[in-house]
Amino acid sequence: MNDISVMICDDSALMRNLIGRMVEEADGLSLAGKAMNGKFLLEKIPRVKPDIILLDLEMPEMNGIEFLKERKRLNIDIPVVILSSIAVRGAKVTMEALSLGASDFILKPSGSISEDIHVVRDRIVTTLHAYGKRTERAADPAVIVKSRDTERKNISADPVGKRTPVVAAVPRGKSGKIDIVAIGISTGGPNALRHVLADIDNDFPVPILVVQHMPAGFTKEFAKSLDRICPLDVKEVSDGDILAPGRVFIAPGNFHIEVEKKHLAAVVRTSSADLMNGHRPSADVLFASVAKHFGANSLAVIMTGMGRDGATEIGTIYAKGGITLAQDELSSIVYGMPKVATDRGFIDQVISLDNMAAAINKIVKEKR
């Protein structure tokens, strides 16, 4: 298999060199070229034919947003990962970039010293591998045929039907009506959530809580961007929010979220407790509280993401009779979190991304 060729576009020579050196030193990656702005990038793409582009947003002459608009107009089918700053302005522009077709974003090293880039080195390399490998798979005719066959099976499958687990299933209770939906998701999540939430029924009768691994400073703008395309109200969680039906609650960056049943209503709590599975927010923290307070009356969904966050406590929901779904391998950017949960036998049904919203809508409707 050939190395994934990476094009870096950033107006900072220091940043181009730092990230370029990181790409050249990483196994399975090669540096296709560098550009100082979107104009030069457009000129170089036909010559170097990169597999993936790392794109800065704030650049002279043609910035990242302008490039993405040209990319769309010219139908350039190359994945773009944004190099984003942590500033509020950076968060807003990053969400605009995702809406224009960027695949994902990575925090740009904030300082001018080389140590800072090592903090995000693993994330950059892993993200480039994830999206680059998907490009290779999409170009493989055998994968395309397999994907279409799998899609037909998913369309005809009963979303509530039980999937034979890879390992012996844990004992479980009987499922009841669904009063809450909880979603855990990571790498590949921003666009996957856009895909799912855009197709949720506009009369959806229960609250949806989402843990998306995302840095502090971005989740508020992320919630706003989802609110523009989702028929339901979407907001970043504030401590004490009442879990009203038909609303979507996004965990704030750097805070866990948990549900809590009060005498008159259920609320969502935020906390800065220790990281779980290396994350805050953590899907396992959310799933554990959903299992405790809603048990058999819950629907839990684990989607694309590296690692295993959520794969343990979704098993607690499963054991108590809650219904559990996992995104399938072909539609996952990184088949980590859903794979671990599925391999442990904690998943009722494996669903493609294209069918996830329909499955959620159907299960909740039938279980009300």
Residue 309 DSSP SS3 = coil
Does 216 share its domain with 351? yes
3-class SS shares of the chain: helix, strand, coil, % to 5: 40, 20, 40
Residue 328 known to be catalytic: no
Q: Which residue matches tokens 């935020």?
A: 270
Residue 272 has pLDDT above 50, yes or no: yes
Tell me, yes or no, whether 145 lies in a domain. Answer: no
Name the band, by pLDDT with cuts 50, 70 and 90, for residue 87.
low
CA 65 to chain centre: 21
Give the mean pLDDT of 52-71. 96
Token readout for 309 is: 């966050």
- Which pLDDT score is estimated for 206? 98
Does 189 share its domain with 333? yes
Residue 202 has pLDDT above 90, yes or no: yes
Does 167 share its domain with 294? yes
Q: 79, 104, 138: which is the final residue of a domain?
A: 138
Please choose, from the candidates 160, 140, 229, 222, the residue with its C-alpha nearest in 3D space to the C-alpha of residue 368: 160
β-partners of residue 4 are 29
Name the band, by pLDDT with cuts 50, 70 and 90, for residue 120.
confident
Please choose, from the candidates 99, 53, 105, the residue with its C-alpha nearest in 3D space to the C-alpha of residue 253: 105
Does 248 share its domain with 338? yes
Give the mean pLDDT of 304-309. 96
Give the mean pLDDT of 330-357. 97
Domain count, the chain: 2
Tell me, yes or no, whether 8 lies in a domain. Answer: yes
Does 280 share its domain with 348? yes
Give the mean pLDDT of 323-347. 96
Per-residue CA distances from 129 to 21, 52, 332 (Å): 16, 9, 13
Tell me, yes or no, whether 154 lies in a domain. Answer: no
Q: 98, 122, 138: which is the final residue of a domain?
A: 138
Name the band, by pLDDT with cuts 50, 70 and 90, for residue 183.
very high
Residue 263 has pLDDT above 90, yes or no: no
Residue with more model confidence, 163 or 259? 259
Tell me, yes or no, whether 156 lies in a domain. Answer: no
- Predicted confidence (pLDDT) per residue in 126-178, tens digit: 999 999 876 554 544 333 333 333 333 333 334 444 444 444 455 677 788 99
Residue 309 known to be catalytic: yes
Residue 278 has pLDDT above 60, yes or no: yes
Tell me, yes or no, whether 157 lies in a domain. Answer: no
Catalytic residue among 51, 213, 256, 298: 213
**β-strand pairing of 266-271 with 256-261:** antiparallel
Q: Buried b vs exposed e over 7-40: b needs ≥16 C-beta within 10 Å?
A: bbbbbbeebbebbbebbeebeebebbbbbbbbbb
CATH of the domain at 81: 3.40.50.2300
Does 204 share its domain with 314? yes
Residue 292 has pLDDT above 80, yes or no: yes
pTM of the model as a whole = 0.88
Tell me, yes or no, whether 319 lies in a domain. Answer: yes
For the chain, give the percent of residues with pLDDT over 70: 86
Tell me, yes or no, whether 258 lies in a domain. Answer: yes
Residue 256 known to be catalytic: no
Give the mean pLDDT of 58-67. 96
Name the band, by pLDDT with cuts 50, 70 and 90, for residue 89.
confident
Residue 257 has pLDDT above 50, yes or no: yes
Does 211 share its domain with 350? yes
The residue segments making up the domain with residue 30 are: 4-138
Residue 279 has pLDDT above 50, yes or no: yes
- State which amino acid sits at residue 233: D
Does 83 share its domain with 174? no
Token readout for 188 is: 């590949």
Catalytic residue among 84, 85, 103, 186: 186
- Which pLDDT score is estimated for 85? 80
Residue 232 has pLDDT above 90, yes or no: yes
Catalytic residue among 51, 56, 179, 309: 309
- Which pLDDT score is estimated for 116? 55
Tell me, yes or no, whether 230 lies in a domain. Answer: yes
